[in-house]
Amino acid sequence: MANLEAMRTFQRHWTSYCAEERTLARLCTQLPLDISGLGARERRLPPFAVSTAAVYDRRALAGALGPDGAHLGYRVDEGIQWNWWLAYDAWRAVIDERSLLDERAACIAELAAVATDTQRALDGDEELARDRSTLRDYAAADAEERSELARMNEQRKKFVEPYEQDEARRAPWIAHPWRRLKLWFFKSFRMRDELDKIDQKIADIQAKLDVRERKIGELGDAVAARTALLEEPFAPQRKRSLEAILSTERELLSLLDHDLAARDETYEQGSVLAESFEDGLAHANEREWALLGRWMTEYAAHLPEEIVHARNMVESELVWLEGYAPYGKRYWPLTDQVVAAMEEGRADTSDLALKLVQGSS
C-alpha cells in the first residue's frame, strides 16, 4: 500500500520502464536497410518511397542481437515497417517533404477539378458548341479544297511541262521570226482551251478558300471570345491553385536545400534551387538516398551497444519496480488510473484506488 507521493514515484518509473521496453522492442525488430541495389531511376524518388531494390539486412540485426537474441521474445517479421527510420530526428526534412508533396498533390487535384468544371461549362454552352461545329466543318472543307487545289496545280504542271521541254530541245538555229510565230500559234491552239479550264478551276477554288479563310478567322475570333467569357468565372480559382502549387514547390526545394546544406558536406547550397522543380527534387532525393545509405551503415555499427544499453535500462527499471511495487505485477498497467483516482481525491491509498479502478472497469 502506498500514498499519493509514493504512487507518483512508482508511476514515473513505470512510465520509464514502458518507454525503455518500447525502445528495446524497436531496436530488436528494426532491420537495417541495404540500398546498394537501387538504380539511378529509383534514387530520384523520395526516400520514403517503397523500393523493391532496397533489401533488409537481417544479418546485421542478428549480429547485433547476439546469441541471446532469440530469448528476448521479439519476432522480427512482425516488427518490419518500411520507413521506420523516419522516426529519427535526422529525417525530419523527409517527413516534411512527404507532407509538402501531399499538399502539392492536393493543389494539383484542385486544379484538375477546376479544369473539369471549366470544360463542363464549355461543353454545355450551345452557342459555343454550334460555332465549334461550324468551324470544324469549315476546316474539313478547307482541307479538302486545298487538296483539290494542289491536284489541279499538279495537273497544270504536267500539261505544260512537255511543251516547255519540247521548246527547250529545239535547235538554236530556229531563230527566224516566222518560225517563232508558228510555234506560238501551235502552242496556243493546243493549250489555250485546256489551260483556260484548269486555270478557271484553280481560280474558283482559290476564291472559295479566300472567302472561307476570312470566315474561319471571324468564327475563330468568336469562339475564342466565347471561350474566354465562359472560362472567366473559373480564372480566380485556377490562379490560386497554380500559385499554391508553385509556392509549395518553392517551399519544398528550400527545405531540402537547407537540409542538404546542413548534413551533406559535398553539397553546394542553392544547387537544387537553380534547377526546375522536377530536376531539383530528383537531385535532392538522390543525395538524401546517399545520406540514408551512410546513416544505415552507422546505425548498424552502433546497434549492438544500443541494444545492450536498452536491455540494461529495462532490467534496471524492472528491478526497481519489483522492489517498490504497491501491488502485483499484473496490475502495473493500471498505474495511471490508480494515480488519477488518488489525485481526484476518490482514494487516499493505492489499495483503495486499485479497487475503485477495478470496480469501474
The Cα 305–Cα 64 span in angstroms is 8
Residues 211, 145 within the same domain: yes
User: Phi first, then psi: what are they for 170, rounded to 5°?
Assistant: -65, 145
325 inside domain: yes
144 inside domain: yes
pLDDT of residue 294: 94
- When divided into structural domains, the chain yields a total of 2
Give the Cβ contact number of residue 36 at 10 Å. Answer: 9
pLDDT value at 264 more than 90: yes
Q: Which residues contact 157 (CB under 8 A, 6 or more apart)?
A: none
Q: Which residues contact 275 (CB under 8 A, 6 or more apart)?
A: 283
The Cα 78–Cα 35 span in angstroms is 21
Last residue of a domain, one of 187, 210, 243: 243
Contact 2, 350 (CB under 8 A): yes
255 inside domain: no
Residues 69, 35 within the same domain: yes
Contact 59, 299 (CB under 8 A): no
Residues 91, 28 within the same domain: yes
Task: Tally helices (H) and strands (E) across the chain.
Answer: 11, 2
The Cα 275–Cα 286 span in angstroms is 14
Give tens-digit pLDDT for 33-90. 888 888 999 999 998 887 777 888 888 888 888 776 655 667 666 556 778 898 899 9
Residue 88 DSSP one-character state: S
107 inside domain: no
Residues 91, 121 within the same domain: no
DSSP string, 145-187: HHHHHHHHHHHHHHHHHHHHHHHHHS-TT---HHHHHHHHHHH
Give tens-digit pLDDT for 274-323. 999 999 999 999 999 999 999 999 999 999 999 999 999 999 999 999 99
Cell 469549315 belongs to 138
303 inside domain: yes
DSSP string, 291-353: HHHHHHHHHHHHHHHHHHHHHHHHHHHHHHHHHH-SS-GGGGGGHHHHHHHHHTTS-SSHHHH
Within 13 Å and on the Cβ side, how many CA atoms surround 281? 18
3 state SS of 34: strand
pLDDT of residue 71: 57
Q: What is the H or E stretch that residue 33 is in?
A: strand 33-34
The residue type found at 33 is L
76 inside domain: yes
Give tens-digit pLDDT for 140-194. 888 888 898 888 888 888 776 766 555 545 544 444 454 444 445 455 555 677 7
DSSP string, 97-138: HHHHHHHHHHHHHHHHHHHHHHHHHHHT-HHHHHHHHHHHHH
Q: Is 51 left (phi over 0), alpha (psi -120 to 50) or beta?
A: beta
Residues 297, 234 within the same domain: no
Residues 193, 233 within the same domain: yes
The Cα 164–Cα 156 span in angstroms is 12
pTM over 0.95: no
Residues 160, 203 within the same domain: yes
Contact 334, 357 (CB under 8 A): yes
Model confidence band, residue 1 (pLDDT cutoffs 50, 70, 90): confident
pLDDT value at 242 more than 70: yes
Give tens-digit pLDDT for 195-234. 778 888 888 888 888 888 898 989 999 999 999 999 999 9
Residues 139, 235 within the same domain: yes
What would the mean pLDDT of 328-344 be, rounded to a whole number?
94
Residues 116, 222 within the same domain: yes
315 inside domain: yes
Residues 86, 121 within the same domain: no
56 inside domain: yes
Q: Which residues form the domain of 165?
A: 112-243
Residues 39, 92 within the same domain: yes
The Cα 32–Cα 297 span in angstroms is 8
Contact 114, 241 (CB under 8 A): yes
Is the Cα dihedral 62, 38, 292, 96 positive or negative? negative
Residues 63, 120 within the same domain: no
Contact 79, 30 (CB under 8 A): yes
The Cα 37–Cα 165 span in angstroms is 72
